[in-house]
């Protein structure tokens, strides 16, 4: 297409390439075209991450704040100090940064391996990150540290609620549901119990899990939908919301 004739050659396009046709020898040759570029879109540049800040959390002592922005995990001072980019991982997405209750570690979710896994790292960035979960094959919604900073509780898209020991990296399946919505959960102040919700037959029940005995107990019945369980600060009471008000009405069938 688009032939253009010169004295000795005819130049034309074919299949997205440029050719020149030698009029004398009647042969065509592909023309190698090289364009010099300054790679303006491939250069390093400074980006303002303030508009992309997600899931922030203050440190236990209130001196620093950790958050994710543009796929990296940052730790910034509350007043004075240096800003740390703890991950600096181009092409990798990190999210859900969370401080351990003892203030030593920061946990987060990363897709570095191609799947979402949970990692922990020293809060001052003095060591490399440690991958806690292994061989994940689904989306991890979120997680929560135990108050003693020894375990992490997390749930995923397969409707599983799991507990992982950060030292041994052993994962324990606490429960699994075949219905949505996904679990909501909380730790007891002494890290010995976990309360969570589980959807069954279109109703959500509150359950308690004994971490040491590895047993789950039903707290509420299936007559009502109960959600948002949490422990009192002294660990003696369990607080939750429950839909227990009814406004029955006669249907037309009742009057026939």
DSSP string, 124-161: TS-S--EE-S-S--S-EEEEEE-TTSSEEEEEETTSEE
Quote the pTM value.
Answer: 0.76
In a domain, 40, yes or no: no
In a domain, 200, yes or no: no
In a domain, 12, yes or no: yes
In a domain, 114, yes or no: no
pLDDT, the chain, mean: 90
Place of tokens 């090289």: 34
In a domain, 68, yes or no: no
Residue 21 pLDDT more than 90? yes
For the chain, what is the radius of gyration of the CA atoms? 29
Residues with Cβ < 8 Å from 124, sequence gap 6 or more? Answer: 84
Q: Whole domain around residue 4: which residue ranges?
A: 1-34
pLDDT of residue 57: 95
Q: What is the mean pLDDT of residues 141-156?
A: 96
In a domain, 23, yes or no: yes
Confidence of residue 62 (pLDDT cuts 50, 70, 90): very high
In a domain, 78, yes or no: no
Confidence of residue 104 (pLDDT cuts 50, 70, 90): very high
In a domain, 230, yes or no: no
Number of domains in the chain: 1
Distance CA(57)–CA(60), nearest Å, equals: 9
212-226: per-residue pLDDT in tens? 999 999 999 888 889
């Amino acid at each position: 297409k688009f032939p253009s004739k010169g004295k000795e050659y005819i130049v034309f396009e074919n299949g997205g390439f440029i050719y020149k046709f030698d009029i004398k020898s009647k042969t065509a040759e592909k023309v190698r075209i090289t364009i010099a570029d300054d790679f303006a879109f491939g250069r390093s540049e400074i980006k303002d991450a303030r508009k992309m800040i997600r899931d922030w959390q203050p440190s236990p002592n209130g001196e620093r704040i950790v958050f994710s922005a543009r796929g990296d995990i940052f730790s910034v001072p509350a007043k004075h100090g240096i800003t740390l980019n703890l991950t600096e991982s181009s092409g990798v997405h990190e999210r859900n940064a969370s401080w351990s209750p003892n203030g030593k570690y920061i946990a987060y979710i990363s897709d570095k391996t191609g799947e979402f896994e949970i990692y922990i790292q020293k809060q001052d960035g003095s060591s490399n990150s440690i991958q806690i979960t292994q061989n994940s094959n689904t989306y991890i919604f979120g997680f929560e540290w135990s108050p003693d900073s020894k375990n992490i509780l997390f749930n995923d898209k397969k409707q599983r609620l799991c507990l992982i020991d950060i030292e041994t990296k052993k994962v324990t399946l606490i429960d699994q549901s075949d219905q949505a919505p996904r679990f909501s959960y909380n730790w007891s102040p002494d890290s010995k119990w976990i309360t969570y919700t589980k959807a069954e037959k279109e109703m959500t029940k509150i359950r308690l899990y004994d971490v040491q005995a590895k047993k789950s107990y039903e707290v509420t019945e299936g007559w009502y939908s109960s959600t948002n369980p949490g422990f009192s600060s002294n660990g003696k009471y369990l607080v939750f919301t429950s839909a227990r008000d009814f406004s029955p009405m006669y249907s037309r069938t009742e009057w026939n």
